[in-house]
Structure 1
Amino acid sequence: MIGERWINLAVPLALLAVPLYALMADEPFTITLATRATILALAAVGLNIALGIGGLVSLGHAVFFGLGGYAMGILAFHAQNYSPLEIGPLTFAGTKSMPVIWLVAVIVSAMAALLIGALSLRTSGVYFIMITLAFGQMFYYFAISWSAYGGEDGLSIYVRNGFPGLNTLVPIQFFAVCFVVLCLALALNAMLRASPFGLALNAARQVPQRVETVGLNPMRLKLMAFVISGAITGLAGALFADLNRFVSPSMFSWQLSGELIILIVIGGVGRLMGPVVGACLFVALEHWLGGLTDFWHVWLGVVLLGIVLFARGGVVGLLTGKAGPHV
Structure 2
Amino acid sequence: MKGIQHISARIWLSLLIFAGFATLPLIAMATDDPFLLLIGTRILAYAIAAMALDLILGYGAMVSFGHAAYLGFGAYAVAILNSYGVTDLGLHILGAVALSAIFALLTGAISLRTSGVYFIMITLAFGQMAYFFFVSLSAYGGDDGTPLQARSTLFGSDALENDRVMFYTALALLIILFAGATRIVGSRFGRVLIGTRENPVRMEAIGLAPFRYQLTAFVISGCMTSVAGVILANQAEFVSPAFMSWHRSGELIVMVVLGGIGNLTGAIGGAVVALLLEDWLAVLTEHWRLLFGVFLILMVLYSPHGITGALERFKGGRK
Match of 2:236 in 1: 244
**Cα distance between partner residues in 2 of 1:153 and 1:252:** 13
Match of 2:142 in 1: 151
Q: In the alignment, does 2:43 pair up with 1:37?
A: yes
Higher mean C-alpha deviation, range 33-42 or range 133-142: 133-142
SS of the equivalent of 1:273 reads helix
TM-score normalised by the chain length of structure 1 = 0.91
Quick one: which amino acid aligns to residue 84 of structure 2?
A: H
**Cα distance between partner residues in 2 of 1:305 and 1:77:** 44
SS of the equivalent of 1:152 reads helix
Q: How far did residue 274 of structure 1 move?
A: 1.1
Match of 1:271 in 2: 263
Q: In the alignment, does 2:66 pair up with 1:75?
A: no
Q: How far did residue 148 of structure 1 move?
A: 1.5
Q: In the alignment, does 2:276 pair up with 1:281?
A: no
Q: How far did residue 46 of structure 1 move?
A: 1.0
SS of the equivalent of 2:264 reads coil
Maintained 8 Å contact 1:263/1:278 = yes
**Cα distance between partner residues in 2 of 1:271 and 1:121:** 22
Match of 1:64 in 2: 70
Q: How many residues align?
A: 307
Q: In the alignment, does 2:308 pair up with 1:319?
A: no
Gaps of 5+ in 1: 80-94, 323-327
TM-score normalised by the chain length of structure 2 = 0.93
SS of the equivalent of 1:312 reads coil
Q: How does 1:18-37 map to 2 (within 5 A)?
A: 18-37=24-43
Q: How far did residue 226 of structure 1 move?
A: 0.2
Q: How far did residue 214 of structure 1 move?
A: 1.5
Match of 1:296 in 2: 288
**How many percent identity over aligned positions?**
42
**Cα distance between partner residues in 1 of 2:80 and 2:287:** 34
Normalized per residue, the structure richer in helix is 2
SS of the equivalent of 2:160 reads coil
Match of 1:111 in 2: 102
Maintained 8 Å contact 2:49/2:252 = yes
Query: Can you list the C-alpha shifts for 1:164-186, whole angstroms capped at 9, x where unaligned?
Result: 26611111110000000000111
**Cα distance between partner residues in 1 of 2:142 and 2:108:** 27
Gaps of 5+ in 2: 315-319
Query: Can you list the C-alpha shifts for 1:248-301, whole angstroms capped at 9, x where unaligned?
Result: 111120000000111111111111211211111122112111122222111111
Query: Can you list the C-alpha shifts for 1:105-131, whole angstroms capped at 9, x where unaligned?
Result: 011111111111001001000000000
Maintained 8 Å contact 1:23/1:31 = no
**Cα distance between partner residues in 2 of 1:270 and 1:200:** 14
Maintained 8 Å contact 2:152/2:158 = no
1:213 to 205, 208, 222: 205
Match of 1:232 in 2: 224
Match of 1:197 in 2: 189
Query: Can you list the C-alpha shifts for 1:181-224, whole angstroms capped at 9, x where unaligned?
Result: 00011101110111000000000000001111111111111100
Q: How far did residue 18 of structure 1 move?
A: 2.4
Quick one: which amino acid aligns to residue 277 of structure 2?
A: L
Maintained 8 Å contact 2:55/2:264 = no
Q: Give RMSD over aligned pairs.
A: 1.6
Q: In the alignment, does 2:214 pair up with 1:222?
A: yes
Maintained 8 Å contact 2:148/2:237 = yes
**Cα distance between partner residues in 2 of 1:5 and 1:203:** 22
**Cα distance between partner residues in 1 of 2:195 and 2:105:** 21
1:307 to 285, 288, 299: 299
**Runs (4+) off by over 6 Å:** none
SS of the equivalent of 1:19 reads helix
Quick one: which amino acid aligns to residue 255 of structure 2?
A: L
1:11 to 17, 38, 44: 17
Higher mean C-alpha deviation, range 166-175 or range 244-253: 166-175
**Cα distance between partner residues in 2 of 1:26 and 1:166:** 23
Quick one: which amino acid aligns to residue 69 of structure 2?
A: V
Quick one: which amino acid aligns to residue 240 of structure 2?
A: S
**Cα distance between partner residues in 2 of 1:303 and 1:311:** 11
**Cα distance between partner residues in 2 of 1:294 and 1:139:** 31
